[in-house]
Amino acid sequence: MLIILALALALVVASLPWWLPARVVALRVRVFNRINGDEGIPVPGDLVGVDRFREVYSHPAANGRSRGAALSDLFWYWLSPGPEMHQEHLEAGERYDAVAKATRGLLAVPRGEAEELTRRCAARTLAGARGLVRLRDLMMPLWAEFSYELVFAEPCPREARDLIVGNANDVVTSLKCTGLRHMERRHRLTRYLLGRLSRVRIPLPAGLSPQEQAFYLQGAFFNTAVVQLSEATAHLLMVLAQHPEVQERARTGDDRYLDQVISETLRLYPLFGIAHRITTGEIPLGGSTAIPAGSVLCFNYPEFHRAGFADPDRFDPGRFDRPARELNHIPFGVAANRPCPAWRLAPIAMRVAAREILHRHSLHSSAAHTRSLPNRGPCLLTPPHASPPRAALVLMRVRDRWEDVWRSLVQLVLGTYMVWDARRQRLCETHFDHPAENRT
Ligand code: HEM
């Protein structure tokens, strides 16, 4: 009897990786919904279908950014360098215009210079890379140096790179609920930036206090830029690592093919799960139906990116033989409603970074590749054209599955805590309730 019980227990334990993570994720979603409430109109959904997704996203009344949505408290908690000063969080108005102009100015780099800058940063940061790596960690120093040079037009000192990576890694780790935020890392970077404001290569918005200027730079360039580029490149390299024929063609093929691979990667693994807007007026939908003012619209990127594609879960760069504008594909948002200001620069830089890696290594991975990539993209780097190290790949798969068991439990506990803490602190709601007190 004891032997049977022991055997049954061993079987349950051995099978954990195959069933526990999915159940824990489902439980986490239920807990999040319970704490957050079911605020929000899902788009696409019953009210607005896929066919009107872009139209509603682009509607002038779909322009409220933060105020009036409980969801904003959560985003502010995770992203904010200063609760009220992040371009992504600002409401439309003079401040937003000034900040968006500065971002455009810093990102307006000619293509050749952007390529050269990426090459230089890759040469400095990828020199020692070999063996088993986590792609997100591998890419972060590169994009930290890249962003630093965009802002200050001089090479990034090691001290600054460590501060930037420390902060960006902290933000993205907490976004994935695999770790808590460490505010001291954020403050150290803010202090560093405060001391460097006079060295920024364009004038910063004059209406902002020095601390707000530092928060602005930190939010857009040393948080969002570094996190997004690291995640996007990690996805791209994971795709190449798991599709050897695509990898080979990308290594030897022209830029057009690599651009198609990037587009398809961002279709399957969009960096935004949901972008929300608060309606500032009514949006008529025809007949007697309308979306009332004050509604929270939740634009679901992964769902939109799957709609209208045959076999949408299959990776197929050939889909982009057609112009992307004809497809349900908005990896950088919609042009009429605060799209990503790096929509032109980011793919250029990603392409060069991918070429620099493919030039030095072959990539192999057997780990799970999901949109949120909580495993940070385990990958084996071998000399170019080396045959796939089969035993190492089997080991990687087993290890990744077991890590997933532990990780899913950590995500459940830390995620629940952070969602609860964000609801408790109500950074966004408090800011709008007491605007004068909250000005830095
Ligand atoms: C491949 C990399 C990137 C992707 C896929 C991406 C994606 C996006 C998307 C989808 C949005 C719009 C979300 C919405 O409608 O609310 C957005 C907004 C934004 N992104 Fe990016 N992004 C990337 C890289 C960057 C970089 C390098 C920067 C550097 C500054 C950046 C800065 C911003 C900012 C400031 C906003 C807010 C725009 C506003 O509200 O005015 N992003 N990004």
Tokens 């190492």 sit at which residue?
A: 392
Phi, psi of 439 (to 5 degrees): -70, 130
Atom of ligand 1 nearest to the CA of 339: 12
Sign of the Cα pseudo-torsion (56, 59, 61, 66, in order): positive
Contact present, 34 and 269 (Cβ < 8 Å): no
- pLDDT at position 21 is 76
262 lines ligand 1 (CB under 6 A): no
Beta-carbon count within 10 A of 384 CB: 12
Q: Is the peptide bond before 44 cis (omega within 30 degrees of 0)?
A: yes
> What rounded mean pLDDT belongs to the chain?
92
What is the rounded CA–CA span in Å between residue 336 and residue 265? 23
Mean pLDDT computed over 409-426: 90
Architecture of domain 19-438: Orthogonal Bundle (1.10)
pLDDT over 50 at 440, yes or no: no
Ligand 1 atom 17 nearest Cα: 340
Sign of the Cα pseudo-torsion (170, 174, 179, 180, in order): positive
| pLDDT higher at 86 or 235 | 235
> Best of 65, 217, 340, 351 to mutate for ligand 1, by most ligand atoms within 8 A of CB?
340
- pLDDT at position 36 is 60
309: left (phi over 0), alpha (psi -120 to 50) or beta: beta
| pLDDT higher at 7 or 153 | 153
228 lines ligand 1 (CB under 6 A): yes
Tokens 């990958």 sit at which residue?
A: 379
221 lines ligand 1 (CB under 6 A): yes
Give 387-415 pLDDT, tens digit per residue: 888 999 999 999 999 999 999 999 999 98
Atom of ligand 1 nearest to the CA of 347: 1
- State the DSSP string of 211-252: HHHHHHHHHIIIIIHHHHHHHHHHHHHHHHHH-HHHHHHHHH
- Of 2-16, 346-360, 419-433, highest mean pLDDT: 346-360
Distances (CA, A) of 364 to 176, 250, 316: 24, 15, 19
Q: Which pairing describes strands 378-382 and 131-134: parallel, antiparallel, or unpaired?
A: antiparallel
pLDDT over 90 at 319, yes or no: yes
Sign of the Cα pseudo-torsion (22, 243, 130, 371, in order): negative
- The one-character DSSP state at 193 is H
Mean pLDDT computed over 148-153: 98
What is the rounded CA–CA span in Å between residue 240 and residue 148? 28
Split at pLDDT 50, 70, 90, the class of 35 is low
For 98, the enclosing helix (H) or strand (E) is helix 94-107
CA of 247 to the centre of ligand 1 (A): 27
> Best of 54, 136, 228, 329 to mutate for ligand 1, by most ligand atoms within 8 A of CB?
228
The residues facing 277 across adjacent strands are: 297
pLDDT over 90 at 268, yes or no: yes
pLDDT over 70 at 437, yes or no: no
88 lines ligand 1 (CB under 6 A): yes
Residue environment code for 232-256, b if the CB has 16+ CB neighbours within 10 A, otherwise e: bbbbbbbbbbbbeebbebbbeeeee
pLDDT over 80 at 37, yes or no: no
CA of 87 to the centre of ligand 1 (A): 10
Q: What's the token pair of residue 189?
A: 């970077």
Residue 381 CA to its chain's centroid (Å): 24
CA of 8 to the centre of ligand 1 (A): 50
- In sequence order, which residues have a C-beta less than 8 Å from that of residue 34 and are 6 or more positions away? none
Q: Pick from 254, 244, 249: which is nearest to 386 by CA? A: 244
Ligand 1 atom 23 nearest Cα: 228
What is the rounded CA–CA span in Å between residue 80 and residue 215? 8
Contact present, 319 and 267 (Cβ < 8 Å): yes
CA of 348 to the centre of ligand 1 (A): 15
Split at pLDDT 50, 70, 90, the class of 436 is low
What is the rounded CA–CA span in Å between residue 271 and residue 127? 27
Mean pLDDT computed over 306-328: 93
Give the length of the chain.
Answer: 440
Give 327-369 pLDDT, tens digit per residue: 999 999 999 999 999 999 999 999 999 999 999 999 999 999 9
Atom of ligand 1 nearest to the CA of 350: 1
Mean pLDDT computed over 226-245: 98
